[in-house]
Amino acid sequence: MTQMEELTTVASPPATRLVGLETRDLSAWFGDHKVLDRVSLTMAPGEVTALIGPSGCGKSTYLRILNRMHEMVKTAKLAGQVLLDGGDVYAPGRRPADVRARVGMVFQRPNPFPAMSIYDNVASGLKLAGIKVAKARRDELVETSLIKAGLWTEVRSRLRSPGGALSGGQQQRLCIARSLAVEPDVLLMDEPCSALDPTSTRRVEETIAELRGRLTIVIVTHNMQQAARVSQKCAFFLASHDTPGKVVEFGPTQQVFEDPRDARTADYVHGRF
């Protein structure tokens, strides 16, 4: 590759501008089953927003709608809007892959490619997004992503070891690094610590704290202490057997926990559900 060719394949420079995400009257169905009802939330640029609520109230569905992952379910239908930096994520002609490159996702169970090296796992984030970069830039992105994910010092001497050789908590931070490789605007995390021991959980929380202010984060968690520790805003979702998931309460985390507007929020955050 000539130097000129290398230059033209280098990814655009890192976005320094923080970008927010918003839903307006977002409703969702699986077939005839309505699972979300007019959810309107604003996830401010650079903030951590926690989504809390009992199982089955639509938190994962909501998260997947934010980066168009729910489209993989054929029966899924939507109404309302998702705005990324003010632009409609579902605008005609907008490609789901482009949205997913701006809005990354980390799941409950760490899912690195176990046989693939640590380096290649992180670099695969670029490949999956269809982003081609020269080797020097790739090296740089892998290193900075691992630094941001809080894993660099633990793996720098063994970047060629398989991802599957890492502990569960390290694998989760590897998945975070993989998502960060494309320098997304938003990182979605669906119960990222539910499968982790307390020490690994703490490390992932440290990573989230480190990322706060660098990009916009939305995290689903069942751990109320965790929501209180990591988030600035908190949304409480609730559904019942005959009513779809709704946001009962949304506001600054401290207020949601200490001075909620709705009695059901107080019951939930104090474990009385």
213: partner contacted, choices Mg ion, ligand ADP, none (Cβ within 5-8 A by kind): none
Return the one option of ligand ADP, Mg ion, none that residue 57 interacts with (CB less than 5 to 8 A, by type): ligand ADP
With left for phi above 0 and alpha for psi between -120 and 50, is residue 130 left, alpha or beta?
A: left
Q: Are 41 and 247 in contact (CB under 8 A)?
A: yes
The residue among 79 and 91 lying less far from ligand ADP, judged by its C-beta, is 79
Residue 110 contact, options ligand ADP, Mg ion, none, Cβ 5-8 Å cut-off depending on partner type: none
Q: Which is nearer to Mg ion, 123 or 175 (CB)?
A: 175
d(CA 250, CA 237): 9
Contact set for Mg ion, span 85-124 (CB under 5 A)? none
Tell me if residue 241 falls in helix, strand or coil: coil
Which residues of the shown chain bind ligand ADP in the complex (CB under 6 A)?
A: 30, 35, 55-61, 73
Q: Does 60 bind Mg ion (CB under 5 A)?
A: yes
Q: Is 58 left (phi over 0), alpha (psi -120 to 50) or beta?
A: left
For the chain, state the CA radius of gyration: 19
Q: Which does 35 bind (CB under 5 to 8 A by kind): ligand ADP, Mg ion, none?
A: ligand ADP
Return the one option of Mg ion, ligand ADP, none that residue 61 interacts with (CB less than 5 to 8 A, by type): ligand ADP
Q: Least CB distance from residue 108 to ligand ADP, whole Å? A: 10
Residue 238's nearest CA partner among 68, 75, 26, 39 is 39
| Cβ at position 73, least distance to ligand ADP in Å | 4
**How far apart are alpha carbons 157 and 153 in whole angstroms?**
8
Q: Does residue 150 contact residue 210 with C-beta atoms inside 8 Å?
A: yes
Between 28 and 129, name the residue whose CB sits nearer to ligand ADP. 28
